[in-house]
Amino acid sequence: MPLTVKAYAKLNLMLDILSALPNGYHDLFMVMQSVSLCDLVTLTENDSGELTLTCDNPQIPAGEGNLAHKAATLFFEETGLPFSGLHIHIEKQIPHAAGLAGGSADAAAVLVGLFRLCGKTPELRELIRLGAKLGSDVPFCAVGGLMLAQYTGTVLSCLPPLPFGKIVIVKPDCAVSTGEAYRAFDTAERIRHFDRAGMLASVMQGDLDGVCRRIDNVFEQFIDVPERVVIKGVMRRHFAQSACMSGSGPSVFGIFETEADAEAAAAELRRSFKNVFVCDCVGRGCEIL
Ligand code: ATP
């Protein structure tokens, strides 16, 4: 029986980089939220003895180059569970190279789905350990909801959910390489850091205004996405409580109190941009259907 897993996208409500680490990674402070924009990852066991992967978006690597393929290989290597053959199919809705962790979400969905197919309930620690071997956003995507991710993104703390209204996400027609974004941080002369303690206090107090005032992304200081100003302007005109870039961009999200404001902003943005999504916050990173 095929098993389908929803792989939810993530937004960074706060993304600060504290320092570059000697191993080439970065010490991060990220408040992350899962949203209902998702890919569908279907796992079908077979007797071929092979691991195969297809994706409905030809721009995404099929086969071994796909992070979801790497996740399945890692799963069987690390757990030692018997492998007879598997096909993975991905229906892509999350734009790629967009700062929304689409690849990481697919990889996390494969890990979660394979544990289910093998009849095992993984300890959270095990899921996070495996995810961290695949990429810094994978552990968050495997757990999801609202979380603080620290160090390289792999040290996670659960945060209480916030009563957000609607979210609008716009992906402008350009791609940002995450590697280049970090290199831009490494060579930046001055960095403005954020009120991290204030953000956490606001989250813990359920102070939505306080959270929205503090939403920020350090990459906005040195990743140039010309459309960002226009997108934020439209969102603000439609009463967005906050508008910010996610990850290393270029996607921009806005938080709206009412569905009517979110839909009005989305309608205006769709006149200029192809990829505009209205979605909700969700309390998990993956969901088995
Ligand atoms: P992050 O926010 O974690 O930095 P992102 O949203 O910027 O991630 P992805 O959508 O994960 O970026 O895609 C980055 C690159 O990874 C793509 O350009 C693509 O070549 C490659 N890739 C490999 N597997 C996948 C996948 N399953 N989905 C999307 N991209 C994938």
Options 2.60.40.1250, 3.30.70.890, 3.40.109.10, 3.40.50.720; CATH for 166-279 is 3.30.70.890
Give yes or no for residue 176 having a pLDDT over 90. no
Q: Is the CB of 196 under 6 A from ligand 1?
A: no
The protein residue with its alpha carbon nearest to ligand 1, atom 15, reads 97
Give yes or no for residue 110 having a pLDDT over 90. yes
Q: Is the CB of 178 under 6 A from ligand 1?
A: yes
As annotated, the residues of the chain forming the CATH 3.30.230.10 domain(s) are 3-159+284-288
Between 66-75, 99-108, 174-183, the lowest mean confidence (pLDDT) is in 174-183
Q: Is the CB of 101 under 6 A from ligand 1?
A: yes
3-state secondary structure of 156: strand
- What local confidence, expressed as pLDDT, does residue 200 receive? 98
Gyration radius (Cα) of the chain, Å: 19
Give yes or no for residue 165 having a pLDDT over 90. yes
Q: What is the mean pLDDT of the chain?
A: 96
Q: Is the CB of 248 under 6 A from ligand 1?
A: yes
The architecture (CATH level 2) of 3-159+284-288 comes to: 2-Layer Sandwich (3.30)
Q: What is the DSSP-derived secondary structure letter of residue 19?
A: E
Q: Report the separation in Å between the CA atom of 96 and the middle of ligand 1, taken as the mean of its atom positions.
A: 5
Catalytic residue among 39, 106, 137, 261: 137
Q: Are 256 and 239 in contact (CB under 8 A)?
A: yes
Place of tokens 């009563």: 163
In this structure, are strands 51-55 and 86-91 parallel, antiparallel, or unpaired?
A: parallel
171 in active site:
no
Q: Is the CB of 97 under 6 A from ligand 1?
A: yes
Give yes or no for residue 103 having a pLDDT over 90. yes
Q: Report the separation in Å between the CA atom of 98 and the middle of ligand 1, taken as the mean of its atom positions.
A: 8
Tell me which of 56, 67, 170 to substitute to probe ligand 1's pocket, judged by most ligand atoms within 8 Å of the beta carbon: 67
Q: How large a percentage of the chain has pLDDT more than 90?
A: 91
**Ligand 1 atom index nearest CA of 178:** 4
* pLDDT (tens digit per residue) in 13-36: 999 999 999 988 999 999 999 999
Q: How large a percentage of the chain has pLDDT more than 70?
A: 100
As annotated, the residues of the chain forming the CATH 3.30.70.890 domain(s) are 166-279
Give yes or no for residue 177 having a pLDDT over 90. no
Determine the residue type at 197: A
Q: Is the CB of 149 under 6 A from ligand 1?
A: no
Cα–Cα distance measured from residue 210 to residue 199, given in angstroms and rounded to the nearest whole number:
7
Q: Is the CB of 103 under 6 A from ligand 1?
A: yes
List, in order, residues 6 or more apart from 194 with CB less than 8 Å away.
14, 16, 214, 216, 218
Q: What is the mean pLDDT of residues 84-106?
A: 97
* pLDDT (tens digit per residue) in 211-222: 999 999 999 998
* Omega before 226 within 30 of 0, i.e. cis: no
Q: Is the CB of 254 under 6 A from ligand 1?
A: no
Catalytic residue among 10, 70, 92, 232: 10
pLDDT tier at 1 (50, 70, 90 boundaries)?
A: confident
Tell me which of 15, 30, 32, 60 to substitute to probe ligand 1's pocket, judged by most ligand atoms within 8 Å of the beta carbon: 60
261 in active site:
no
* pLDDT (tens digit per residue) in 126-137: 999 999 999 999
Give yes or no for residue 178 having a pLDDT over 90. no
Please count the CA atoms within 13 angstroms of the CA of 15 that sit on its side-chain side: 25
- What local confidence, expressed as pLDDT, does residue 98 receive? 94
